[in-house]
Structure 1
Amino acid sequence: MAGGNWSATDLPVLPGFYMAFRSAATAAIGQGARGTVILPVKAHWGPVRQIVELANENEAIETFSADDSGGATAYTTLKFALLGGASKLLAYRLTDGTDAKASITLTDNATTPAEVLKLEAKYSGERGNKFRVTVQTSAADAGMKELKLYEGTKLLRTFTFADGSVQAAVEAINGDAANKWIVATKTDDGNGTLASVTGAVLTGGKSGISGIANSDYISAFAEFETQSFNTVALDGVSDAALLASAAAWIARIREEGAGAVLVVGGSAADDKAADAVSKAIARSAGFNSEGVVNVGTGVKLAGVEYSSAQTAAYVAGLIAGQSLNQSTTYASAPFEDVTRRWTRSEQEQAVRGGVFLHIHDGRQVKALRGINTLVTPGENQSNAWKKIRTIRVIDTINSDLQRTAEDHYIGKVNNTEEGRLALIGACKQYLQTLAQAGVIEAEGYDVYVDPAFTPEPDQVFLKWEAKLTDVVEQIFGTFVVQ
């Protein structure tokens, strides 16, 4: 899908829909669904180096487990993104390549036992080492056997099959649609009867977490480019070199037309350091990008403290999940407190320095002001580009326009007066939708052929004029006492 920004001095060569936003002109066509966050995670279970779609916390637990010990991050990261309001998560499990599946090989009951049935965890990871199996004759039918699968003391599943048939055991296990834990393989015929065992433990499961490097995240970014998403956050990582690589990646894909925002944060130590304010501001200054949001403080939830880097997943969910006419400014949060309460003057520094801050106002935790790390606007940008809402609107508009153009116009409509009028009519219709939703001002928007360019026979240069709305963030009043 070609698209992105364009320059009058360097026109693209690929067929596609290209947008150039200016501070006085933004627009869009056919609103698309929002709410998708993509996240790299570390886990003791689940598909490896695959993008998995999740819609709720139960799916996250079922896919990656709720175990965040030993460096695992999946549960907290995914839970925070959902708390923020993401409607869909795309998760990608990282490993260092040493991950392995737990397994056990069962024998027959011959005098000299033969290994006849291998049971292997469905996924690599240490979770598989908690599985144990019991094989016994069925109490209900002496001609049947039962293989019971436990995780610790919890019974996960009972598989019943004909005694005397290893193949029947394989079919019972692999053919059970509700079996999400083990895979069976026949290794030998043996004497045809599985030996009874009690609490035999699967072993050898490795999660592949300890050796995960920045290069593994960078490889994940390449996979992310095949997906459509609104925001991306790391799984609590605050390494400066990785954050710089992530910011460079997000800048590139934004230039290529992908309207995505990266949300990052700092370590727990940095969040509570004596110079925490200057550290957070310096981190934002290093990005200075409308496509990067830097979270400045950690939070407390259910008595547990989380760093600003971990809180980034929540903010990513918040940004992605909001509608176009909403703002993250003063958005209430589900946390009981922040790990460091910034003073009034520090909060002012945060706003000026491009730091997204959570504060406790004496009653609740809420976002201070919905800003990204853009401190010094670049060419063709205004101060409005510092607002998360502005970028969210621009990105959504760009995505909607590009999708509609590709689906209904590019390669399908003749570049005639009639064809151009059809395209312009669709553009105006969408602007009307945005105006009715309060995203742009209801008066003064327009779409027309841009007379500043002389197009080739297969080119159309359009110009949109609209004024973005904003939310009330500051109220100034004068109280006259008489």
Structure 2
Amino acid sequence: MGLPEILITFKTKGLTAIQRSERGIVAVILHDETEGGETLTVYNSITEVDFTKWSERNYDYLKLIYEGVPYRVIVYRMGLEDTNYMPALAVLKNMKWNYLTIPGIATEGVPSIASFIKEARDQDHKTFKAVLPNSKSDHEGIINFTTDRIDSILSKTQFTTAEYCARITGILAGLSLARSSTYYVLNDITAAETPDDPDKRIDAGELILVFDGEKFKIGRGVNSLVSFTTDKGQEFSKIKIMEGVDLYQDDIRDTFEDSYVGKVRNDYDAKQMFVAAIRAYQKSLQPDVLDQSHDNTAAIDVEAQRLYIEGRGIDTSAMDDTAVAMYNTGSRVFISSNVKFVDAMEDLNLVCNM
């Protein structure tokens, strides 16, 4: 594949980012021993679900997920008494999905799922996320849903916090990057246990439901991250921001693996064309994903290349940045980007002068 075609691929990914983000993939683990059910099933629509192969409650969970209109739902079936999620996670780890949910998960099962998500993101560079009940994980990959006792027209019986995670997962997977989940209205809810201290809960990394006197809605679209660092600032606690970050990483990584690895020479000119493709992609993500007022850019990472060269025992003290950038780095490609992701309007400070 030639470089011009690769440039078009990048531009197309950018231009379709919003549409693609509206159709995320949900992975769900269900405990079910209904006769005739497969261990692993992939559904593209709720109409494909054979309700005779699921318990009534699990069918309710699938309907909850599809209320958010995700692109695809991957279902892994486990035994009713099985509490070992490792085999299921081993299978799902090699598949492509955005959000994981385990409706009705027991309290003791939550930490192992949170650990899996953290490891997948921090060590394996996956962009997996999970909606878990009462999970103070302090991590951008975990959405800590805490609202309980939810009455919904989508079920004959009340949903617990752990069960309604399925609904939240479907919403987040199907929500456009052009907006956040803050104040997303849940028209199916007729009653829920809402907190008296919503601001405190949100600041503690909880995704809660609130009632505005007429309707129930998501208080603020936050994940469980509360310990901010230089590498992970407060913006990393926003679900919308993390969706943009994950989309950005996935698109560039997937395009590099599909269109560059083994197919394009690794010299200075080819690297610069790769950089140009990334810049074109960044521009197409404006204004809904990247801040158009920011200088979103990319370049050959000169400092990383300098370290690479010196690691091979070569003195670079007499080499300027251009010489370092043009140095042959074998099969290694060092690129750095500078971008700023844009949030949605959520807070109003209105001064009325009379």
TM-score bracket relative to the smaller structure: 0.7 to 0.9
Residues 1:439 and 2:306 are matched in the alignment: no
The one of 250, 253, 257 aligned to 2:120: 253
Q: Which amino acid aligns with 2:44?
A: A
Structure 2: distance between partners of 1:339 and 1:419: 57
Give CA-to-partner distance per residue, 1:125-168, whole Å, 9 cap, x none.
Answer: xxxxxxxxxxxxxxxxxxxxxxxxxxxxxxxxxxxxxxxxxxxx
Conservation of the 8 A alpha-carbon contact between 1:80 and 1:314: yes
Q: TM-score, normalised by structure 1?
A: 0.61
Q: How does 1:420-435 map to 2 (within 5 A)?
A: 420-435=271-286
Instruction: Tell me how many residue pairs correspond in the alignment.
Output: 310
Conservation of the 8 A alpha-carbon contact between 2:51 and 2:59: no
3-state SS of the aligned residue for 2:75? Answer: strand
Q: How does 1:58-457 map to 2 (within 5 A)?
A: 58-62=47-51, 64-65=53-54, 67-68=55-56, 73-95=57-79, 209=80, 211-212=81-82, 214-215=83-84, 217-240=85-108, 242-255=109-122, 256-265=124-133, 280=134, 283-284=135-136, 287-298=137-148, 299-302=150-153, 304-343=157-196, 346-435=197-286, 437-443=287-293, 444-454=295-305, 455=308, 456-457=329-330
The CA deviation at 1:307 is 0.8
The one of 311, 316, 333 aligned to 1:460: 333
Match of 1:37 in 2: 26
The CA deviation at 1:379 is 4.8
The CA deviation at 1:323 is 2.0
Larger radius of gyration: 1
The CA deviation at 1:60 is 2.1
Structure 2: distance between partners of 1:406 and 1:420: 15
Q: Output the aligned Cα RMSD.
A: 1.9
Q: Which amino acid aligns with 2:160?
A: S
Conservation of the 8 A alpha-carbon contact between 1:29 and 1:427: no
Q: Which runs of 5+ in 1 are unaligned?
A: 1-27, 96-208, 266-279
Structure 2: distance between partners of 1:77 and 1:218: 22
Residues 1:475 and 2:348 are matched in the alignment: yes
Structure number with higher strand proportion? 1
Q: Which amino acid aligns with 1:459?
A: R
Structure 1: distance between partners of 2:267 and 2:199: 54
Conservation of the 8 A alpha-carbon contact between 2:103 and 2:164: no
The CA deviation at 1:59 is 1.9
3-state SS of the aligned residue for 1:452? Answer: helix
The CA deviation at 1:480 is 2.3
Structure 2: distance between partners of 1:250 and 1:53: 21
The CA deviation at 1:263 is 0.5
Return closer, same or farther for 1:355/1:238 CA change in 2, 3 Å cut-off.
farther
3-state SS of the aligned residue for 1:227? Answer: coil
Conservation of the 8 A alpha-carbon contact between 1:296 and 1:308: yes
The CA deviation at 1:89 is 0.5
The CA deviation at 1:40 is 0.7
Structure number with higher helix proportion? 2
Conservation of the 8 A alpha-carbon contact between 1:232 and 1:262: yes
Q: Which amino acid aligns with 1:475?
A: L
Identical positions, percent: 22
Match of 2:320 in 1: none
The CA deviation at 1:63 is 6.5
Return closer, same or farther for 1:440/1:85 CA change in 2, 3 Å cut-off.
same
3-state SS of the aligned residue for 2:235? Answer: helix
Conservation of the 8 A alpha-carbon contact between 1:29 and 1:431: no
Q: Which runs of 5+ in 2 are unaligned?
A: 1-11, 309-328
The CA deviation at 1:407 is 0.8
